Structure 1
Amino acid sequence: MNDSSHPTAESVNAEWTDVCGVEDLEVNWGEAALVGGREIAVFRTHDDLVFATDHRDPRSRALVMARGIVGRTGQYHTVASPLYKETYDLATGRCVSGAEYTLPVHPVRVQDGRVLVVVSGGDEQGGGEQGE
C-alpha cells in the first residue's frame, strides 16, 4: 500500500481529515463517517484500494451508500445503491448502469496506516488510493 496522495486532492485548498485505520475497513464493504458535518462512505476493495464517496444516495437522497454492494463493473471499482441498484464508479462517481445520477466522490489517501479524506463540495473527483 502506498503513502502517496491523489493529485486532484493536492489542488484543493482543504484539510485532510483522519477518518480511520485502513485495517478498520472490512474488504468489499463500506463504513459511514461524519467529516466536517458531511456524511461520507469509505470503501476498501479486495485489491486494497480505498475510496470515499458521499453517504447520500443520489437518487433517493437517503443516507445508505455505505451499505451498497461493492464490486467491479468491467474495469471500474463500483458500489451499487442498496435502494434502487444504480451502480457508480467509485473513482469518479459516474453512474455506470445508465442512470443520469452522479455520486459525489472525495479525495482519499492512506498514510501510516490511516485513511485520510478531503471532503469536497461534491465537484471534486478522487479516490482509489492504495492502502498499506
Structure 2
Amino acid sequence: MQASRWTPICAVDDIVPNTGVCALVDGDQVAVFRVAGNTSQGVYAIGNYDPNSHAAVLSRGLIGNLGERIVVASPIYKQHFDLITGECLEAPANSVHAYATKVENGTIWVGV
C-alpha cells in the first residue's frame, strides 16, 4: 500500500487499545484500529462498510487473531476481515479496501 496523500485522523491515545473508531477520509468511512502489542506501530485502517451486512459497522467490531492474521470480526454476522489486507476470510469476494497508515508525533495518519 502506497499513499499519495495523507489525512490526519486523531492522536494515538484517542483510541483505546484493541478498539476502533470511524473517520471520514475523502468522503469515505474508514475504520481505524489501534492494536496493542502486535507491531511497533499497531495502527490499521480498512473500509468501514461491511458488504456482508450492508452496514457501516466494522469500526465497532472485535479485534483478534486467526492464526498469524490480525482481524476484526464484524459485529453483525461475525465475518473476519484481515486488518492488513482488508480480505474477508469467510467470503473473499466481500473484502474491503485496506489503507496505508502511519504515526507521526503521536498522530495517526491514513493514506489515500
Match of 2:10 among 20, 25, 43: 20
Q: How far apart are 1:118 and its partner, in Å? A: 1.3
1:89 maps to a residue whose letter is: D
Work out the number of aligned pairs and report it: 108
Match of 1:107 in 2: 100
Distance 1:44 1:16 in 2: 18
CA distance, structure 1, for counterparts of residue 30 and residue 88 of structure 2: 17
Match of 1:67 in 2: 60
C-alpha deviation, 1:36, in angstroms = 1.1
* Gapped regions of structure 1 (runs ≥ 5): 1-7, 120-132
- Measure, in 1, the Cα distance between the counterparts of 2:14 and 2:42: 14
1:95-132 residue CA offsets vs partner (Å, 9 max, x unmatched): 22x2232121101111111100013xxxxxxxxxxxxx
Q: Which structure has greater strand proportion?
A: 2
Q: Output aligned runs, 1:1-132, within 5 Å.
A: 8-9=1-2, 12=3, 14-47=4-37, 49-96=42-89, 98-100=90-92, 101-119=94-112
One-letter amino acid of the structure 1 residue matched with residue 20 of structure 2: G
TM-score (norm 2): 0.89
Matches of 1:94 and 1:54 in 2, distance apart? 11
TM-score by length of 1: 0.77
* Contiguous gaps of at least 5 residues in structure 2: none
Quote the Cα distance in structure 2 between the aligned partners of 1:58 and 1:104.
Answer: 11
RMSD: 1.2
